[in-house]
Structures are given as C-alpha cells and as structure tokens.
Amino acid sequence: MSNTVFSAVQPSGVPTIANYVGAIKNWVNLQNEYDCIFSIADLHTLTVKQVPAELRARTLELLALYIACGVDPEKCVLFVQSHVHEHAELTWILNTITAVGEMQRMTQFKDKSLKHAENINMGLMDYPVLMASDILLYNVQYVPVGADQKQHLEIARDLAMRFNARYSDTFIVPEPIIPKLGARVMSLQEPSSKMSKSDENVNAFISMLDSPDDIIRKFRRAVTDSDSVVRYDEQEKPGISNLMTIYSVFTGEDMDAIKARFEGKGYGEFKQQVGEAVAEGLKPIQDKRAELLADKTYLLSILKTGAEKASSIAFRTLRKVYKKVGLLQL
C-alpha cells in the first residue's frame, strides 16, 4: 500500500495565513511521516486570465515561500505542475469517463462562474478533473484537504473507482487528511466566510508578506461580537473562535489555555496579542523567502530535480493507463 501524500497550491497571488495554516504548515509535519509530493499548480491558474510575466514570477516566489516555511526539498518531491506533461494527458483520459453534469454541480464552478461571468471557460469546469489527475498520477494514498475541499477529492475518488471498475485496478482510491485545528481559517471581517486572498476587503485577510504594523492593524479591526469574554464557541462567537484558532496555531497553546490567559482582559488586548503572535511567526519566514529569491539558480535546480522525480512516477502511471484504455504504444 502506498504511503504517499500529494498536495498543491496555485501561484495566483500571495498566500494568506489561511493557506499557510490549512496547507503549507501541515506539509512540514507530513514530510517527516510520509512520502510527500508537493506541487505548484500553475496550470490551474489559467482558468482566470493571467499576466504571463507575473505568473512566472509568482511561481518562483511560491517555491521560495514553501521552503521558507520549512518544506524540505531533500525530504519531498517539489515541482511545478506544468513541468510534468502527464498531468494534462491523464486529464484527457479521465474526461472521457466524467459526466458534464458532475462538473456543473461542483460548488467551485458555480461560485467562480458568478465571479467571472465574462470568462466561464471549459478549464473552469474541468478544473476538478485536472485536480484528480494531479492526485491519481502518483499512486497517492492521502490528500490533506480543508473541510471545504472535500468535494474535489470526492471527484478524484469517484473517477479512480470508475476507471478501476471499467478497466481493472489501476488507481489507488485516495483518502483525506483533515487537520483537526486550523483547517479552515475564516475572514477577519466576515467570520462566516473563508479567508481568501482574492477578498476585495484587504482587512479581511492576512497575507504571508504583510508587515507587522499591517498585521496588528488588521487584527485590531477584526470583527468579533458584543460580548467581551474570550472563549471558543463557533456558533455563538465565530469571530473570537477564529482568532483563537489563529492564536493557537501560532503559539501552540490550546483553547483552554488561551481562555485562561485572557480571562477578564477583554477583546482589545486579545486582538493585539493575536496580531503580535502572527507577526512574530511570519517574520523569519519572510526573511528566509527574501534570501532564497536572491538565488534563482538554486530555486530552478530544485524544480528541475523535482520535475525529474515526479515525471518518472507519472510516466509509469500514464503508460499503464494508456495500455488499459487500448492506446497503441510504441
């Protein structure tokens, strides 16, 4: 049985602490326990119009951020999605066993169609099939996902089972890993919505590159409630619960300890302390990222090695798939 984990993040802008807490920080822990394959999903970004030079720059910047956060190229396979052509090729094969209705029902397709009504393209609809290909190419057993991403993994599981039933066992059916804490960091302005780097309100999210002053200012403005008690209650106190989750991730303290620490102190001091903890946690990451970006040759060498490793696995999977579906091989 494979003990492989796969995950990817799009280079579509500077990640937020939600991306860090929900994905990248967990990768650092996973790489010590599993055979990890981590990708920069640049093909996925093309569903929305991109400025080519900016996309190339953001791809290297995201790699530098991965490493600065503790993702170790010596412990995992780290590569750019478009450097491994098998991703696109397997997508075509899986498209032939995917129903149009399945894609039209996907929550993300419906949401993005509303946001980008002028550009409802086939890539936007086909996004989950490419995501399934990303996963299934590597005989992946586990996929770390946020609570809101389970629908995409379900498509990957469905396509794996459907292909296996039609052509005999080929793909491992992947299982989710959902972090118990921090899997879903919410907006600082609308705690009922997920924190997003595309939010029009810059006070709603914390960028991984925000300055300490900006971080503390945004937390001071975070929406809470009319109460003044720091306690965890997602239903009654979603804003405070979100801040407690963030504080816990950056300090290591559990909810009971946080509640005790801020008992009788009110929201003002709590929000200040959350901001300071996040700013302190991000500074070494920001410094290391800047250092790595000064050595482009090193970053490209990591991507070259990663692409070679990923391609070796992906080629074997795709060759097996082509044979199963009846394509004549040379």
CA pair distance 188, 27, nearest whole angstrom: 24
HEC string of 31-83?
CCCCEEEEEECHHHHCCCCCCHHHHHHHHHHHHHHHHHCCCCCCCEEEEEHHH
Packing angle, helices 150-167 and 122-136, rounded to 10: 70
167, two tokens: 């052509």
Among candidate residues 25, 197, 218, 271, the one labeled active-site is: 197
Phi-psi region of 4 (alpha: psi -120 to 50; beta: other; left: phi over 0): beta
Q: Is 194 a catalytic residue?
A: yes
Among candidate residues 112, 218, 237, 271, the one labeled active-site is: 112
Virtual torsion, Cα 50, 195, 4, 133, nearest 10 deg: -40
66, two tokens: 């991965």
Q: Is 110 a catalytic residue?
A: no
CA pair distance 266, 230, nearest whole angstrom: 7
Among candidate residues 25, 194, 218, 237, the one labeled active-site is: 194
CA pair distance 317, 330, nearest whole angstrom: 16
DSSP calls for 258-294: HHHHTTTTHHHHHHHHHHHHHHHHHHHHHHHHHHHHT
Question: Which three-class secondary structure state does DSSP give residue 308?
Answer: helix
Virtual torsion, Cα 74, 308, 174, 42, nearest 10 deg: 100
Listed in sequence order, the residues at least 6 apart from 273 whose beta carbon sits closer than 8 Å to its beta carbon are: 247, 262
Q: Is 271 a catalytic residue?
A: no
CA pair distance 201, 230, nearest whole angstrom: 25
Question: Which three-class secondary structure state does DSSP give residue 5?
Answer: strand
- Which amino acids are annotated catalytic? 112, 194, 197
